[in-house]
Structure 1
């Protein structure tokens, strides 16, 4: 039996690569003769580069960049056949700020611009920027500055949303020259605009530390950036992704593409699904929000197109059978139901392997 294992990360416990390996280890204990193919997945957020490197190979370019609050953080650009893959969360991710000390108004995407610049200077003709998991809300101002954009006053683009309060003018000529001849792709499943009730600040700001009574004021700061650059672009789908980082990329001519589709195409997931007898996906919490561009729904959709069954292994399963099938998943299995919540967090890899072993009893031939 051919089994395709294509999970997302289990947030906070296992990377997608680790999750795939744990599922495979457990499955082999029950069904050692099955042929397993591991294809860890990502949607553009944390783990984007690791997942692509695990499947594609390629050259990893190490780059130290500025984190969201100006400290130096390590970043990695994956170069594969002329395409560079950049994971924005490495430079501006929410994980870089402790939960109790988040000040998104001051956080900058400058480091993401440095990663893009490094990719361009390395000679990449296509740069794919994975958007997701950001702890910033500066409309991509920092990214623009790192690529050469200038402003009046001079430091307005580099101090997070706070710096935009004094913004008078932005010149994008040097930034556009930096990416001239390079195909820019914003990889995100978020289609929110930059501003308004569905914009970056109002929808995603609170989880990044923007206080409720500051949402309107911070949204107004991003509007100043839009007024100084291109308000029409601010209305575009995906402009509000990653705290407006999508807007910064769109200003430079980027096209927006589903992050999951980027990964699925890069690793040849549709072809692999057609060769499989069973597709396994998974994530930390499998619930109905999984339909909003998340990995399990995308993998299940591809499995359905290949006319193959798809099951999900998760830390927790929070949907009933009807909702599960609406997501394209035949059955979903929970680590918490099998071993309990404490054991799931204490030994996530072992618990996931045990769940896979139990599941193989039902699904392996």
Structure 2
């Protein structure tokens, strides 16, 4: 029996590889004789770098950059040949910040720009950037400043990286931008199709989870709209309405407009790079999972994307938690799902790495003990 274990990360808890390893251990502890292959997957969020680098000749590296609130953080990235794999979750990720400390007015993408600049100066020209899990809502304002862009008032005053500065800017000064950026290729790994502004934009849809209060949505959205208009005047093209411009608090907009990036759905991009279809074809059973399974999981996230590839092969999902509407997943190729939480505990205790790993292992073990009985 061939089992393909293709787990996504459990955000803020365990990586894709750690989750997959726990599943495999559970299968072995159940006494099942099977060929179990672990293939980490991701959709552009946390764990994207590790998933791309796994089972390649690539390397994981790290660099010190500015975190979402100005603190110094060690951002992990991947190098595979001449290609760089980055993820916003490593430079300005929402899991880096306690929920009560989230502040959309101050959170910055500056660290992502610092990391890109460093790597460009080292000679790299091809970038894949996962845009999931961002704590920022700055439309890439900080990232662009780290890359050398200066945004000025009509009187020539240079704006700082706080988003409240956007309302004053009228001029884009690119005289200090790295000239090598023009020869770089940027691919965005993201499943988000939202535009930058409006009722379906970055602030209205994703802002609340980043600390945007209901009373602030309109004001922040207007700031981003002004930034987009200044950008359109500068580039002679409007990128605010492009699909994916609203990804990662508008980072999609900045990369599309200023870095001439292209967007590809995160899971599909990874699947192509890792020849995932071949692994699925060899498998008799597929196991996947993520931190939370809900009705939105059928909208291009890892479980539903894998279900489309699996077609008539059985697919099981192990999830950190599930929502009331999760039953809809059964209508989209997910044959069965199992929440792994085993006892009532605080969120902090539940999300501990060792707790999550053991919960995944035990769930997999019990599942395959039962499976062997039913054979």
User: Is the TM value for this pair above 0.5?
Assistant: yes
Which residues in structure 2 correspond to 1:180-195 (within 5 Å)? 180-195=182-197
Q: What is the number of equivalent residue pairs in this alignment?
A: 360
Displacement after TM superposition at 1:363 (Å): 4.3
How many Å separate the matches in 2 of 1:173 and 1:88? 26
Aligned to 2:330: 325
1:68 aligns with 2:51: no
Q: Which residue of 1 aligns with 2:365?
A: 357
Cα pair 2:295 2:326 within 8 Å, conserved: no
Cα deviation, 1:41-81, whole Å, max 9, x if unaligned, reads: 11111121122223334123321111122221111221112
Taking a change above 3 Å as real, the CA distance of residues 95 and 348 of structure 1, as seen in their structure-2 partners, is: closer
Pairing of 1:126-141 with structure 2 (within 5 A): 126-141=126-141
CA gap of 1:326–1:102, structure 2 versus 1, over 3 A, is same
Point out where structure 1 has 5 or more consecutive residues left out of the alignment: none
**Distance across 2 between alignment mates of 1:106 and 1:322:** 39
Against the structure 1 CA distance between its residues 134 and 321, is the aligned structure 2 distance closer, same or farther, given a 3 Å change threshold?
Answer: closer
Partner of 1:264: 271
Residues 205-220 of structure 1 aligned to structure 2 (within 5 Å)? 205-220=207-222
| Alpha-carbon distance, 1:184 to partner | 0.7
Bigger mean CA offset, 201-210 vs 342-351:
342-351
Aligned partners of 1:269 and 1:119: how far apart in 2? 28
1:241 equivalent in structure 2: 247
Does the CA contact (< 8 Å) of 1:55 and 1:267 recur in 2?
no
How do 1:171-320 residues align onto structure 2 when only pairs under 5 Å count? 171-172=173-174, 175=177, 177-230=179-232, 232-251=238-257, 252-304=259-311, 307-318=312-323
TM-score (norm 2): 0.89
* Conserved? CA contact 1:49–1:85, under 8 Å: yes
CA positional deviation for 1:14: 2.2
Q: Return closer, same or farther for 1:363/1:269 CA change in 2, 3 Å cut-off.
A: farther
Query: Please, what TM-score do these two structures have when normalized by structure 1?
Result: 0.92
Q: Map Cα deviations across residues 155-204 of structure 1 (whole Å, 9 max, x no partner).
A: 42x42312212211113465473322221111111111011111111111
Task: Find the aligned partners of 2:166 and 2:230 in 1 and give their Cα distance.
Answer: 10
- What root-mean-square deviation, in Å, do the aligned CA atoms of Structure 1 and Structure 2 show? 2.2
Determine which structure has the larger helix proportion and give its number.
1
In 2: Cα distance, 1:27 partner to 1:227 partner: 55
In 2 relative to 1, CA 164–320 (structure 1 residues): closer, same or farther, beyond 3 Å? closer
Residue 160 and residue 327 in structure 1: after superposition, are their counterparts in 2 closer, same or farther (change >3 A)? Answer: farther
Query: 1:212-233 CA deviation, whole Å, 9 max, x = no partner?
Result: 1111111111112111112621
1:110/1:321 Cα in 2 relative to 1: closer, same or farther (>3 Å)? Answer: closer
Distance 1:172 1:198, change over 3 A: farther
Q: Distance in 2 between matches of 1:265 and 1:319?
A: 33
Structure 2: how far apart are the matches of 1:8 and 1:60?
18
> What is the Cα deviation at residue 330 of structure 1?
1.3
SS at 1:340's partner residue? coil
- Report what 2:2 is aligned to: 2
Q: Is structure 2 residue 65 aligned with structure 1 residue 59?
A: no
Match of residue 49 from structure 1: 49
Q: How far did 1:297 drift? A: 1.2
Q: Structure 2 regions of 5+ residues with no counterpart?
A: none
